[in-house]
A and B are shown apart, each in its own frame.
Chain A
């Protein structure tokens, strides 16, 4: 089947098998390997991308379902080579740790910050529920999001 998608602002047309998962399309056809395959069972959130601006697990969607959609992956977060403020937060707050779960978290939490510019810690932790970090270091991930929220709000204070 033929699909047309826009990924990180670039239009693509490809012939794909209906059973091709979106995550495999992104990684193996477009070679955008920033999106990771973690559990492959719709739990861990490592494969999260934005489909029409909504965080979506790309291991639980067929590429054909994305026909006509706009997709944003981690590669599209820093289009001019300048880090997104949340990426900067992860760097500053040591939120990456091993880094495997990071791209998925970035795709959920950049959307979260758009809708919740001044989140509480509880809001952040609730939003992170669809992501498993096996370094188990959620503390620094929460701090990274708080850093970004503070920056966005143009506030001086940064979580200690």
Chain B
């Protein structure tokens, strides 16, 4: 499958990428390419200009800063998987990275690319939501930071504007004694989530619950959180959370799973996730 012809430009800084984006024409950012290139091959996406941000040094790497883990947007899934800070402070990010795609996908795909693409079945959206992460964006008119909970707006849609680029994901280090987990029921071929559930239990009793794969975009489940937050996590509380979960959500239905089956899976995976953080 051959994509429509396009112009290609490799840039070496965020500023250069922004200038290219603003230069008119239909520029599209290319990071790992594992979502964009398949879409281009199917001609679902036909950018006139590809701006390759895959080799921008400032977009790589993970560091600890002011009680946060800062993951630069161009960091690959494999670099996250094998990072000591992630293993130490964000074990559920480590687990999730291991479950993304396969070795080849993890070698090329990036966290920023995954968030910008906002595939309804991608893993990272659930993780950044559950972790209350902030997403840093740079644009021609300056920088801004959005809460992950404000970022996703629809199917493959986010608050990211056409002239903006994700530069980093800032994840608050969970307080000592926190427990976290990410579980997913995966499509065995693509390993995208049919249902993915990320849970972070903080020592003050708050429990953050996020789902991916269930609806048009990943979301925090306020109903389920309310049912278990600050409560003794017994069978009754868990059952209440299961009852409250994915209520009022327009659940996806496709050839992999019907809406009814997905709803069932969401409740099953929520229970397993809650049991794991007990």
Contact = CB atoms under 8 A, between A and B. Distances in A.
Contacts of A56: 104, 107-108
Contact of A65 (B1, B33, B103, B104): B33
Interface string A49-65: 00000111100111011
Contacts of A62: 8, 33, 37, 50
Interface string B1-21: 111111110100000000000
- How big is the B interface, by class? 20 to 34
A104 to B, nearest CB: 9
A62 B5 CA distance: 12
Interface string B36-61: 01100100000000101010000000
A60 to B, nearest CB: 5
Interface stretch (A36-44, A78-86, A133-141, A148-156): A36-44
A19 to B, nearest CB: 5
B103 A18 contact: no
B101 interface: yes
Contact of A130 (B52, B54, B104): B104
B103 A61 contact: no
A102 B10 CA distance: 33
Contacts of B37: 42, 60-62
Given A19-B4, A60-B38, A64-B8, A55 B103 contact: yes
A87 interface: no
* Among B54, B103, B190, residue most surrounded by chain A Cβ atoms (within 10 Å): B103
B52 A65 contact: yes
A41 B103 contact: no
Interface residues of A, number: 29
Contacts of B104: 45, 48, 55-57, 108, 130
B34 A60 contact: yes
Contacts of B41: 40-41
B189 interface: yes
B5 A18 contact: yes
B191 interface: yes
A17 B8 CA distance: 9
A65 B7 CA distance: 13
Contacts of B107: 54-56
Interface string B122-140: 0000000000000000000
Nearest to B82: A115
Contacts of B189: 43, 132
Given A43-B190, A56-B108, A130 B101 contact: yes
A57 to B, nearest CB: 5
A132 B102 CA distance: 11
A158 interface: no
A55 B101 CA distance: 13
A142 B10 CA distance: 39
Contact of B33 (A18, A40, A61, A112): A61
A114 B107 CA distance: 15
A119 B104 CA distance: 18
A15 B191 CA distance: 36
A129 B38 contact: no
A10 interface: no
A1 B254 CA distance: 41
Interface of A: 1, 17-19, 21, 40-43, 45, 48, 54-57, 60-62, 64-65, 67, 108, 111-112, 127, 129-132
20 contacts: A18-B6, A18-B8, A19-B2, A19-B6, A21-B2, A41-B1, A42-B105, A43-B189, A43-B190, A57-B108, A60-B34, A60-B38, A61-B37, A61-B108, A62-B33, A62-B50, A65-B30, A108-B103, A130-B102, A130-B103
